[in-house]
Structure 1
Amino acid sequence: MEIGTMLRNKRKMLGLTQDQFIHGIISKSFYSKVERGLNEISAEDLFAILEVNNINLNDFLKNADSSSKSNRLKVEILVAFNKKDKHKVQELNKKIQISNCDQTIKLSSLLINATLNNELDKINIDTRNEIKRKLFDVEKWWNNVYMLQLFCNSMLIFSFDDLSFYMKQLAKQRDISTMSFDTQRLIGSICINYFHNCYKNHQTAHAKWGYQIIDNLAKLPDLTIYRIIKNYYQALFTGNLKKANEVIDFFKDYDLKEIYTVLP
């Protein structure tokens, strides 16, 4: 049983409409597709929906079959990655690699573990090529939270031309602001990684694709950080060092070391 089917069954057991069940955490149109298996729900959105409806995760998954257990592993490793829990990620990655999870989940797990442990350079060329093929093979990869996570985690193993190709594809999407919050946050993170690659490869003119994508994010307070970082890179790349330093000072004023210490 897939996650979407399990959510639908639990919602119906509670006698709730889709609107009542999701409490505005994600859009109704996006959630409707989750129930039908057309969209993937992120770990954070899933946990938020379960929590707001007072549903215990273990109770939710206790009757899961092997397919749902794969989904559970997939969700758990994303949560562990978000918490930067290296030990938990390593442990889950080992389970996933020997499980019946599909190859996309195994590749994503491998990348998450390598990213958290700074071991991306150890990924062999065959695996790198398979990751690229997976991105090309998935229709509308930009609307699939796991493909976005795969891309975000693997950007360092792509050539700059490859990255620009994917960013151009992403920039063409006009419905980004209607995607789930976690999907938009992933897209924002991808753009920030891309800006760093533009800086590292002295290809600042190509940063326009990232600017365009971030401008299409929903105007939500929690997504404002991506616009601020975009403004920093835009100022840096156009030689406006005064404005770039003002952004750095803003981050320093609020003691956001995890941001300003990694900016060039």
Structure 2
Amino acid sequence: MTIGDLLKEYRIEQGKYQKEFTNDGQIVSQSFYSKVEKNINRITADSLLELLHYNKISLWEFFSRLNQSDDFMHQQVESFHKIMVEAYYANDKAKVKQLKPLIKESYLSDKGKEEELLLVEAVLEVMKDPTEEPDLELRNKIKEKIFNIPSFNQTKMELFCNFMYFYDFESNKVIAQRIIKQHIATNDIKLQKPLLGIIVNMLALSFDAGKEKTETEFFIESAKKIKMHPELTFYKLALLFFTNLISYRKTGEPKYYQQSSDMADTMLLVGLTGYGKILHDLLVKYK
């Protein structure tokens, strides 16, 4: 049975038209949903979860009735990660916390649920205010998890990128340089994303360490080797912000400061309000 088949079955059992089932098209449009039931369109995992909650359908019951394929499990995990990333850049802690019951109700294995819940706690740890007490046990658990992965594959790169703030600057520099040297020649977008994310984080961390004038050249030059692609737009904008702010710190020329300010404004304009505000705070701090 497909997702579309099962959704249609539940909808008919509840005696609803497609318009009612999709909350008057607010979750997904009626025309799009119609094609989901016909197995023409593929619904995203977060829209699916919203549909199920809106229509009071048990997540466990729904997923248990589907074929237990690796592909669907992977889609679930990808959906959770997507929501986590979006909530992080929007600085929306409540949205991250809302993932906990969804993960617990998901059809992931017990080990899968445990790993996803650990990541949720780690993301909340990263989002803590500097004045809040760090959870050192949790941070060490994440670092151990990262380095239990034998090679710098995509998963390890993504984990390291997300939790670099758990390490000191010198440790980050050594690890980041190893990853860059291993993958800088790749044309795989899935690897280029975390690679650029690591470089952006290194530039950001260099300011906290007071090393933006001396320890950033390798990372800036490495980023230039990765060609622009639509999927890399966010990372390229973030790079422009930090490279211009570094140039301003080195030269004092106002044009670089203005270009960084423009990049921060762009983040706000495209809806990355949390991240945009962080960049504006940096501009104030390092002017």
| Deviation, structure 1 residue 163 | 0.9
Give the Cα separation in 2 of the matches to 1:118 and 1:64: 43
TM-score by length of 2: 0.58
> Which residue in the other structure is 1:34 paired with?
none
Identity %: 15
TM-score by length of 1: 0.62
Give the Cα separation in 1 of the matches to 2:71 and 2:98: 19
CA 184–104 in structure 1, closer or farther in 2 if over 3 Å, else same: farther
CA RMSD of aligned residues (A): 3.8
Cα deviation digits, residues 172-220 of structure 1 (max 9, x gap): 1344551225x43333333222212111111232223421331232222
> Which residue in the other structure is 2:82 paired with?
79
> Which residue in the other structure is 1:228 paired with?
240
- SS of the aligned residue for 1:100 comes to helix
Alignment of 1:55 with 2:57, yes or no, is no
> Which residue in the other structure is 1:192 paired with?
200
Q: How many equivalent residue pairs?
A: 211
Give the Cα separation in 2 of the matches to 1:140 and 1:106: 23
CA 249–133 in structure 1, closer or farther in 2 if over 3 Å, else same: closer
What amino acid maps onto 2:168 in structure 1? S
**Matches of residues 78-227 of structure 1 in structure 2 within 5 Å?**
78-84=81-87, 86-93=93-100, 96=103, 99-101=110-112, 104-116=115-127, 118=129, 122-141=133-152, 143-144=153-154, 146-175=155-184, 177-180=186-189, 183-204=191-212, 205-220=214-229, 222=233, 223-227=235-239
What amino acid maps onto 1:228 in structure 2? L
CA 209–166 in structure 1, closer or farther in 2 if over 3 Å, else same: farther
Would the aligned equivalents of 1:96 and 1:106 in 2 still touch at CA under 8 Å? yes
Unaligned stretches of 5+ residues in structure 1: 1-50
> Which residue in the other structure is 1:241 paired with?
253
Give the Cα separation in 2 of the matches to 1:213 and 1:173: 12
Give the Cα separation in 1 of the matches to 2:130 and 2:98: 16
More contact order relative to length (CA 8 Å, sep ≥ 6)? 1
CA 155–253 in structure 1, closer or farther in 2 if over 3 Å, else same: closer
Would the aligned equivalents of 1:81 and 1:89 in 2 still touch at CA under 8 Å? yes
Between Structure 1 and Structure 2, whose CA radius of gyration is higher?
2
Unaligned stretches of 5+ residues in structure 2: 1-35, 49-62
